[in-house]
């Protein structure tokens, strides 16, 4: 016959030698000795087996070990010896003696400091990990690691984004504003210096366990403090008043998010859901920000179905005015008479696993056709100072298909849009015009260990006759393309002025489309534009885990130049813009996003079309960027 005695280890170093009050299965021992609630030693036998002798109460701890079972070991001996002091302590004086073992039964004093935890998030503290507000990687109440009360959490984020930029941009001047007497009275010195500091503070207060589902309630507030400085070598560049000189320092506090998010319901046991979000909130129409990517005031209903296979958005936005020099939201101004209505659906793993397809419909209703709007520097923004310079409005609907993901090792992002609608009046004609334009972009890449080569293609239709009743130039609502090198590219990063068409940009800042707008922040969409062809190649090199290098080359051409010839009263103008080459380095010293240093250089090697529009000079820029995040 075999004896069976189990060991139950308790917190605080207390050990108890007991036999389980449960008969083991058939494969276990034939008889079991255990201690009942009255402290007596009793035995339980399987039917048909003879009784076995039970161990007698031991006189000391060592004897208890020897009589317990052959599986005792040195660690068990030490634990039992460590409990000897408890038998004589005041806390043990009132306990009922245990006749079967020198190890006392556990009582309430053994559990007081360990059991009553207010919630499961405090378990980490009991293991010796402190709560440090300055440490975002360990237990931190300010980062939402445990509730501040009940099941409500708080998350604080702080981001410092510093930019210094040295650039060459064609700078328009007049005969009374050039700083170089005797110089050409159309183009001035093109060297510029820009320094920008943004500090974003993110306050998030939310309720609910967010491991498997969205929060029940979420309140988010993101103010951004901006200080910017710009220095030119010509007057009339920073302000319409030449007495402001050649430099400007400005500051602004923008509200980039201020919304409440309510989790309406779960629609499946896998937490498919519907939620409603109201307020200033971010929204992106597609994967790369080609059509509309902004933080605007609106209402959005969103959710998912079929175990997150499908996601949907239904949204309405009323656009806010932007601050002129920072580009941030300015809630002190009246909202614009400009609405954006969006509906889209995402389909995961379609047509193959690893690829996400999306269909979207967006409508932009602009009714700013009854007044003029000037920015804070005194320059006209609406209508754009090109063509007839008449207040105008438009109704445009965008239908698009987008995709992002991979087919095996082949990575692909693609977008296609069709824009249809009407504008009244046209840019160059004083009558209603029809809008019909198209857009197509794709970027393909493949990973080879630490090397990722990329190929890029983009086509936006242009208008071949600015004086007819149809506008065929494609324009976005508010683009922010992460494509073909993004802001590493000279063409995408810089706002190149048209010169000769008033305060109008040939290409907008952080935009790829040559839409001839006053600006994408305060201006209107313009579908009378030359359109664009872009073919590019690039490579991302993960030189070190902390260091990435990127090299990009883009070839640029206008689709049509008739609009440019009308705006500049100049002919002919060639379609070739030129070659845009750039290189950038991104360094993350801690292999995280908490500290990111980036340096990039780009140059536009002019083609014949650029030479027709601007002086025969190469344009380049150098950018330094430091991001610190908490």
Q: What gap in Å lies between CA 488 and CA 580, rounded to an integer? A: 10
pLDDT of 519: 93
Give φ, ψ of 273 to 5 degrees.
-145, 170
List pLDDT tens digits, range 404-461.
Answer: 999 999 999 999 999 999 999 999 999 999 999 999 999 999 999 999 999 999 999 9
Q: Residue 11: what pLDDT?
A: 35
pLDDT attached to residue 314? 98
Question: What is the b/e burial string over 191-224, where b = at least 16 CB atoms within 10 angstroms of the residue's CB?
Answer: ebebbbbbbbebebbbbeeeeeebbbebbbbbbb
HSE value, Cβ hemisphere, 13 Å, CA-based, for 130? 4
Q: How far is CA 335 from each of CA 148, 319, 330, rounded to the nearest angstrom?
A: 36, 6, 9
Burial class (CB in 10 A: 0-12, 13-18, 19+), 120: exposed
pLDDT of residue 64: 45
Q: What is the pLDDT of residue 70?
A: 42
Q: What is the value of pTM for the model shown?
A: 0.80
Strand ranges, E, within 176-309: 187-188, 191-207, 217-231, 247-266, 273-284, 293-305
CA 357 to mean position of chain CA atoms = 20
List average pLDDT for each run of 10 residues in the chain, which is 630 residues long.
35 36 43 61 64 58 44 47 46 53 59 58 71 83 88 95 94 62 65 97 92 90 98 88 91 98 94 96 96 97 96 98 96 97 98 97 96 93 92 97 96 98 95 97 96 98 96 97 93 87 83 94 96 98 96 97 92 94 97 95 95 85 96
Contact assessment for residue 312 and residue 267, using Cβ atoms and an 8 Å cutoff: no
pLDDT of residue 491: 95
**Three-class secondary structure of residue 567 per DSSP:** helix
Which of these, 518, 482, 510, lies nearest to 494 by C-alpha position? 510
Alpha carbons 200 and 222: distance in angstroms, whole number? 7
* Domains assigned to the chain: 6-110 (no CATH), 152-629 (2.40.160.100)
Lookup result for tokens 């702080």:
158
At 211 the pLDDT is 76
**Whole-angstrom distance, CA of residue 217 vs CA of residue 206:** 5
pLDDT at 149: 87
pLDDT at position 55: 61
Rounded distance between C-alpha atoms, residue 220 and residue 202, angstroms: 7
Q: In the prediction, which pLDDT does 333 show?
A: 96
Give 222's DSSP letter: E
Q: What is the pLDDT of residue 469?
A: 95
Distant-in-sequence, close-in-space partners of 71: CB < 8 Å, separation ≥ 6: none
Axis-axis angle for helices 74-82, 61-68 (nearest 10)? 140
Position 246 scores a pLDDT of: 92
């Amino acid at each position: 016959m075999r004896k069976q005695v189990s060991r139950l280890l308790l917190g605080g170093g207390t050990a108890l030698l007991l036999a389980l009050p449960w008969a083991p299965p058939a494969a276990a021992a034939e008889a079991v000795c255990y201690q009942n609630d009255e402290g007596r030693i009793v035995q339980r036998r399987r039917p048909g087996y003879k009784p076995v002798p039970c161990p007698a109460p031991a006189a000391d701890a060592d004897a208890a070990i020897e009589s317990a079972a052959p599986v005792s070991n040195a660690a068990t001996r030490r634990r039992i010896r460590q409990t000897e002091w408890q038998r004589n302590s005041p806390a043990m004086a009132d306990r009922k003696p245990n006749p079967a073992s020198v190890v006392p039964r556990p009582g309430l004093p053994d559990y007081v400091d360990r059991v009553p935890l207010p919630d499961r998030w405090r378990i980490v503290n009991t293991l010796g990990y402190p709560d440090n507000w300055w440490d975002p990687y360990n237990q931190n109440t300010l980062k939402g690691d445990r509730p501040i009360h009940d099941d409500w959490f708080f998350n604080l984020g702080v981001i410092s984004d510093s930019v210094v930029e040295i650039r060459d941009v064609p700078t328009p001047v007049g005969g009374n504003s050039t700083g170089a007497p005797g110089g050409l009275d159309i183009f001035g010195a093109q060297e510029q210096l820009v320094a920008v500091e943004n500090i974003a503070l993110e306050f998030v207060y939310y309720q609910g366990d967010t491991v498997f589902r969205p929060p029940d309630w979420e309140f988010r507030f993101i103010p951004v403090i901006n200080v910017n400085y710009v220095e030119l070598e010509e007057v009339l560049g920073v302000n319409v008043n030449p007495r402001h000189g050649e430099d400007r320092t400005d500051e602004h506090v923008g509200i980039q998010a201020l919304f409440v998010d309510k989790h309406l319901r779960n629609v499946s046991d896998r937490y498919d859901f519907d939620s409603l979000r109201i307020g200033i909130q971010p929204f992106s129409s597609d994967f790369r920000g080609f059509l509309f990517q902004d933080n605007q005031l609106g209402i959005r209903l969103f959710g998912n179905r079929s175990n997150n296979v499908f996601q949907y958005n239904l949204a309405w936005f009323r656009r806010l005015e932007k601050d002129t020099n920072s580009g941030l939201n300015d809630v002190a101004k009246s909202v614009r008479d400009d609405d954006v209505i969006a509906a889209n659906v995402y389909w995961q793993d379609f047509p193959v696993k690893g690829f996400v397809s999306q269909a979207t419909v967006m409508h932009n209703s602009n009714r700013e056709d009854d007044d003029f709007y000037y920015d804070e520097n005194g320059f006209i923004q609406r209508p754009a100072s090109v063509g007839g310079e008449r207040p105008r409005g438009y109704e445009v609907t965008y239908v698009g298909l987008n995709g992002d993901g991979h087919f095996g090792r082949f990575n692909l992002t693609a977008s296609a849009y069709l824009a249809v609608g009407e504008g009244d009046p046209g840019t160059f004609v004083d009558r209603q015009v029809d809008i019909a334009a198209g857009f197509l972009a794709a970027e393909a890449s493949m990973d080879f260990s630490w090397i990722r080569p990329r190929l890029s293609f983009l086509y936006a239709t242009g208008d071949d006759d600015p004086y007819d009743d149809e506008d065929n130039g494609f324009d976005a609502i508010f683009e922010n393309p992460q494509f073909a090198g993004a802001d590493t590219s000279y063409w995408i990063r810089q706002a190149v002025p048209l010169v000769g068409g008033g305060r109008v940009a040939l290409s907008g800042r952080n935009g790829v489309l040559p839409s001839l707008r006053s600006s994408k922040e305060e201006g209107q969409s313009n579908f009378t534009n030359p359109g664009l062809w872009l073919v590019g190649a690039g490579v991302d090199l993960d030189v070190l885990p902390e260091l990435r290098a990127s090299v990009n080359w883009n070839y640029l051409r206008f689709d049509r130049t008739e609009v440019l010839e009308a705006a500049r009263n100049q002919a002919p103008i060639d379609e070739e813009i030129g070659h845009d080459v750039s290189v950038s380095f991104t360094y993350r010293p801690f292999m995280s996003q908490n500290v990111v240093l980036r340096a990039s250089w780009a140059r536009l090697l002019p083609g014949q079309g650029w030479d027709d529009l601007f002086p025969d000079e190469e344009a380049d820029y150098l950018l330094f960027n430091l991001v610190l995040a908490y």
